Amino acid sequence: MRGYVLQAEDDEIGRCKDFLFDDRFWTIRHMVADTGKWLPGRKILISPLALKKPDWDSNRLPVRLTKQAIEDSPDLKTDEPVSRQQETGLFQYYGWPYYWVGGHTWGVLDVPYGARADRDGNEKPDSGDDHLRSVDEVTGYHIQATDDEIGHVEDFIVDDNDWTIRYLIVDTRNWLPGKKVLVSPAWAASVDWGQSKVMVKMTRDQVKNSPEYDPSVPVDRNYEERLYDYYRYAKYWKV
């Protein structure tokens, strides 16, 4: 979706530049918009709470906001990391419920669509801003199996129902020319953010023999069944 045209309710507002995800839940929390010359010097963040389903055919990402609402939103500087205080101001401005309050993926909800704020006035923001990571930044991270390195993160596959990152697309061409495989973040033993490395629970041979991923074919449930059966992991859609 990076590069997709952003369609607000009344006009185009730019393109999707990046995504920020919560590294505790591997869920997209913000889309970073590139507004070109319209709002220079500002970091425009739009929560999936305000995004509609992507239009895969036209490469467009519809947004449930007007240009004026976006222009009047709290100012975020492009060269500063996003703090929880800034997120709180942004969510209050738009009337979005806090995703960090509640026990579900989206706070009190499992999916973000149609959510509105319903606060009792006693909620206090936590200090979890250090858990936001950039998709652009993590692209290129090395993947370390239990016995050897197996490749690097080429891209991400996101579930557009709840905006969870379902899979890392791993390019193994350094030792398996041309082959790409999928690895779920749930199968990661740990992530070394300082060393730009994702450690997974599988051996190199396990990954080598796993079902190949073809970028030209959408990931469907049949492929996922084969993938999870191969690794013998619990299937997220049955939990």
In contact, 200 and 189? CB cutoff 8 Å: yes
Q: Is the pLDDT of residue 142 over 70?
A: yes
pLDDT for the residue numbered 5:
94
Mean per-residue pLDDT, 201-212: 92
Within 10 angstroms of residue 219's Cβ, the number of other Cβ atoms is 17
Segment 134-141 long-range contacts (CB within 8 Å, at least 24 positions apart): 134/18, 134/19, 134/20, 134/32, 135/2, 135/18, 135/19, 135/20, 135/21, 136/2, 136/18, 140/196, 141/191, 141/196, 141/197, 141/198
Indicate the pLDDT class of residue 77, thresholds 50, 70 and 90.
confident
Indicate the pLDDT class of residue 76, thresholds 50, 70 and 90.
confident
Mean per-residue pLDDT, 211-218: 94
Q: Where are the domains of the chain?
A: 5-132, 139-238
In contact, 64 and 50? CB cutoff 8 Å: yes
Distance separating alpha carbons of residues 168 and 166, to the nearest angstrom: 7
Name the fold adopted by 5-132: SH3 type barrels. (2.30.30)
Name the fold adopted by 139-238: Photosynthetic Reaction Center; Chain H, domain 2 (3.90.50)
**Which residue(s) pair with 99 in the sheet?**
none
Contacts with 192 (C-beta within 8 Å, 6 or more apart), sequence order: 198, 199
Please report, as a single letter, which amino acid is at residue 157.
I
Mean per-residue pLDDT, 221-226: 97
Among residues 133, 74, 124, 78, the alpha carbon closest in space to that of 100 is found at 124
Question: What percent of the chain has a predicted confidence (pLDDT) above 70?
Answer: 87
**49: exposed, middle or buried (Cβ count in 10 Å: 0-12, 13-18, 19+):** buried
Average pLDDT, the chain: 88
Q: Is the pLDDT of residue 128 over 70?
A: no
Q: Is the pLDDT of residue 223 over 60?
A: yes
pLDDT for the residue numbered 103:
65
Indicate the pLDDT class of residue 125, thresholds 50, 70 and 90.
low
pLDDT tens for each residue of 158-192: 998 899 999 999 999 877 677 899 999 999 999 99
Query: Can you give the pTM of this predicted structure?
Result: 0.88
Contacts with 205 (C-beta within 8 Å, 6 or more apart), sequence order: none
